[in-house]
Amino acid sequence: MRITEMAVPDAYLIEPDHVVDARGTFHETIRHSALGDIAGHDLVVRQVNHSVSSRNTVRGIHGTALPPGQAKLVTCVRGVALDIAVDLRVGSPTFGRYAVARQEAEAGTAVYLPDGIGHAFQALTDDTCMSYLCSQEYLPGTMIVVDAFDPALALPWELTGPVIRSDKDTAAPTLAEAAAAGLLPGYEECVASYGKSGAWRGRVTGPSAGR
């Protein structure tokens, strides 16, 4: 597999190699040691979620407060999704920057999002199913929600009809409003939660992904 740091630092695009034979295909979604060597910290899975969405559904931008935090490995297991990572870390050199990954179930592409990196996606087909491997169990009251249609972010959605969103996502604050209200984590506390130093930064393979 190829693990590449995205345009949002500390977020990674994972592209597996496929083994093809008469039965079909096989691929590794993630290998613990491979991600740890690149990211500089381990992903320990404590909860697994799945969402199923109709075409033109947009979910996010979602993150989790620190503590407890919740890193995610997100994969499209059915359909096609436009997956976007957004830097929500106040004080980050790339605060507000986003990176895009087109996820198709057949490709097996995954995106790894550590604490402080918000996640949003658009279902490009009906019955799009996304799988989330999460580092922490969900704790009510800790979710961070930012408006996926914040004009200042200008995320490149590919809507072909009216958008479908939850009430919570529709009423979410802009990035600036969330920062002003103290809802977002700080860059330094996020980096500390990764348990890594700057020496890890830049250890990537393959071409850059994202904007």
178: Cβ–Cβ under 8 A, 6 or more apart, which residues?
88, 144, 146, 172, 184
Catalytic hit among 27, 50, 98, 132: 132
**In sequence order, which residues have a C-beta less than 8 Å from that of residue 199 and are 6 or more positions away?**
none
In this prediction, residues 2-19 reach a mean pLDDT of: 96
Q: Which of 62, 112, 119, 194 is flagged as catalytic? A: 62
Binning pLDDT at 50, 70 and 90, where does residue 204 land? Answer: very low
Banded pLDDT at 195 (limits 50, 70, 90): confident
Q: Is residue 132 annotated as part of the catalytic site, yes or no? A: yes
* Cis-peptide, bond into residue 61, ω within 30° of zero: yes
Which residues partner with 110 through β-bridges? 14, 75
State the DSSP H helix or E strand holding residue 192, giving kind and residue range, or none if neither: helix 187-194
pLDDT at 40: 84
Residue 194 known to be catalytic: no
The domains located in the chain, with CATH, are: 7-12+44-195 (2.60.120.10)
Question: Which pTM was predicted?
Answer: 0.89
What CA–CA distances, in Å, run from 60 to 70, 82, 202? 15, 12, 28
Task: Tell whether the model's pLDDT for residue 200 goes beyond 80.
Answer: no
Task: Give pLDDT tens digits for 122-155.
Answer: 999 999 999 999 999 999 999 999 999 999 999 9
Q: Is 65 helix (H, G, I), strand (E, B) or coil?
A: coil
Q: What is the pLDDT of residues 106-126, one digit of tens each?
A: 999 999 999 999 999 999 999
